[in-house]
Amino acid sequence: MTIRNVINAFYGLDGSNVQMTPETYVDVINTKNEMVEAELCAWCGTYASTFKDKQSKKEYSISGLCQDCQDETFKEDNVYDREGYPSE
């Protein structure tokens, strides 16, 4: 069970129609936390072990997204990929 399953159920994309309640929201958060603890991606369910930088690893602890899912999710506003990283 990934958060994608819960979200698909919520929007009826899997044929069911779950009522979103505060409990459902807590379920999503708990599911995400369990996945991160097991080092799995909360979205696609694959093993999430390699990240390209500290930033991505931190993002994983927040969202539970593996590197591939992060790249997919943030591709349109990854200004650093377009313009390069600012020098510190």
Instruction: Provide the binding-site residues for Zn ion, judged by CB under 5 A.
Output: 41, 43-44, 66, 69
Nearer to Zn ion, 17 or 52 (CB): 52
For Zn ion, the nearest residue by Cβ is 41
Helical ranges in 1-88 per DSSP H: 3-10, 22-37, 54-63, 67-74, 79-83
Nearer to Zn ion, 9 or 44 (CB): 44
Nearer to Zn ion, 9 or 45 (CB): 45
Contact 60, 36 (CB under 8 A): yes
Helices 3-10 + 22-37 axis angle, to 10: 160
Tell me the C-alpha distance between 4 and 10, whole Å: 10
